[in-house]
Amino acid sequence: NKQVVLERYIEGAPKETDMAMKMGKIELKAPKGSGGILVKNLYLSCDPYMRGRMRDFHGSYIPPFVLSQAIEGFGVAKVLDSDNPDFKPGDFISGLTGWEEYSLIRSTWQLRKIQPDHSIPLSYHLGLLGMPGFTAYAGFYEICSPKNGEYVFVSAASGAVGQLVGQLAKLHGCYVVGSAGSSQKVDLLKNKLGFDEAFNYKEETDLDAALKRYFPEGIDIYFDNVGGAILDAALLNMRIHGRIAVCGMVSLHSISDTKGIHNLYCVVPKRIRMQGFLQSDYLQKFPQFLEHVTENFKHGKIVYIEDMNEGLETAPAAFVGLFSGRNIGKQVICVAKD
Ligand code: NDP
């Protein structure tokens, strides 16, 4: 059983050498009395939050990875054997599994059964119809209080979460601008994902001036995926009673962005509501999310961009690439097709 394991706990940005390939042994059966299922992993998800589990820190909402064991992460898998009446061989599931070819999953309560549908790729259950897509949905509708016609800014806009936030905002009748880290991503935002405008933040020497150019009347909603300098500039450009949904701060995972925030005082005179959130607090809305997004996807009103790497051994590089913007769209690893 080929596995990707974490070799050591890290500080700062992750490196490929922090992870290693290992051969483990696994019996291809779900042990009697375990209540578990034995699955073949098909697609694995690379998500920025996993960086937090690579630290030796126990005070977070999620514990660190166990060293030398397969890295735990979201995946889509096929059930090979089951000791659980809710699952049978041949079922497809999505949920927490391991960065390995086969996994024995004992804790099955958080798994979701997938009904195969030819119009939706299985891997989309890691992105558009999975945790990142739900993050976009919960963050936009539950935190941003959007209104028709409002001005919305999204950072890391071509990524797994950002690309859906922008499209949901467009469907809601908002004016949407995204920032991303390359001209290729900017092109996708404008020409494939339906954003009204987009810009490459790496080419802007003055982010405040860039936002003033795209939002001459100011920003009502900033969906923040990155923190750091972009958040600082957004604060200066928020309108009165604006909302900032703090989804993540991917720029702070690497030590390169040490500038910090200077403009937080803006929340006072502008009466900005700035709120962090975790998608897991809103899971009761998951069925509504699935219905809304699936329906719009099937009617061609939502599209989704995936960055698919082939082979388990590509996972460490793909994961590390999230922190330099190497991924174009949702980063997924294909371990096996069926
Ligand atoms: P993405 O698919 O957007 O991948 C990460 C992207 O971040 C990169 O492609 C890169 O895009 C951008 N990035 C990396 N480093 C920097 C930097 N220094 N400055 C600015 N941008 C940077 O990831 P996700 O969509 O999966 O996640 C987006 C955010 O949402 C993350 O912060 C994540 O932690 C958060 N999140 C929060 C959840 C919650 O419940 N609150 C749940 C899921 C995700 P580019 O080329 O444009 O720079």
Domains of the chain plus CATH, in order, are 2-127+305-334 (3.90.180.10), 131-280 (3.40.50.720)
Determine contact, residues 336/42, Cβ cutoff 8 Å.
Answer: yes
Residue with CA closest to ligand 1 atom 14: 323
- For residue 175, what are its two tokens? 């004016």
Q: ∠ at Cα 144 (143, 145), nearest 5°? A: 100
Gap from CA of 250 to ligand 1 centroid (Å): 5
Please give the Cα distance from 35 to 33 (Å, whole number): 6
pLDDT tens for residues 271-291? 999 999 999 999 999 999 999
DSSP string, 216-269: TT-EEEEEESS-HHHHHHHHHHEEEEEEEEE---GGGGSTT-------GGGGTT
Does residue 156 have its Cβ closer than 6 Å to ligand 1? yes
Q: Are 307 and 327 in contact (CB under 8 A)?
A: yes
- Which pLDDT band, with edges at 50, 70 and 90, does 253 fall under? low
186 lines ligand 1 (CB under 6 A): no
Q: Is the pLDDT of residue 142 over 70?
A: yes
Q: Is the CB of 321 under 6 A from ligand 1?
A: no
What is the mean pLDDT of the segment spanning 40-63? Answer: 94
The atom number, within ligand 1, closest to the CA of 248 reads 32
Closest C-alpha residue for ligand 1 atom 19: 251
**277 ligand 1 Cβ < 6 A:** yes
What are the residues facing 75 on neighbouring strands? 44, 95
Q: What does pTM read for this prediction? A: 0.97
Helix, strand, coil percentages in the chain from 3-state DSSP, rounded to 5 = 30, 25, 40
DSSP state of 196: S
Torsion angle defined by CA atoms of residues 21, 26, 30 and 36, in that order, rounded to the nearest 10 degrees? -30
- For the chain, the straight-line distance linking the first and the last C-alpha, in angstroms and rounded, comes to 16
Q: Tell me: the pLDDT tens digits for 187-220?
A: 999 999 999 999 999 999 999 999 999 999 999 9
DSSP-assigned letters across all residues of 282-312: GGGGHHHHHHHHHHHHHTTS----EEEEESG
Calculate mean pLDDT across residues 137-160: 98
Instruction: Locate the ligand 1 atom nearest the alpha carbon of residue 161 and give its number.
Output: 25
CA diameter of the chain? 65
- Beta carbon of 250 within 6 Å of any ligand 1 atom: yes
pLDDT tens-digit profile of 103-119? 999 999 889 999 999 99
Residue whose CA is closest, atom 17 of ligand 1? Answer: 251
Nearest to 72 by CA among 19, 17, 129: 19
CA of 85 to the centre of ligand 1 (A): 38
Say yes or no: CB of residue 198 within 6 Å of ligand 1: no
Q: Whose CA is nearest to atom 42 of ligand 1?
A: 135
The predicted structure's pLDDT at residue 259: 61
Nearest CA to ligand 1 atom 39: 278
Q: Are 137 and 289 in contact (CB under 8 A)?
A: yes
Ligand 1 pocket mutation, candidates 164, 222, 225, 274, criterion most atoms within 8 A of CB = 225
Cβ count near 16 (within 10 Å): 13
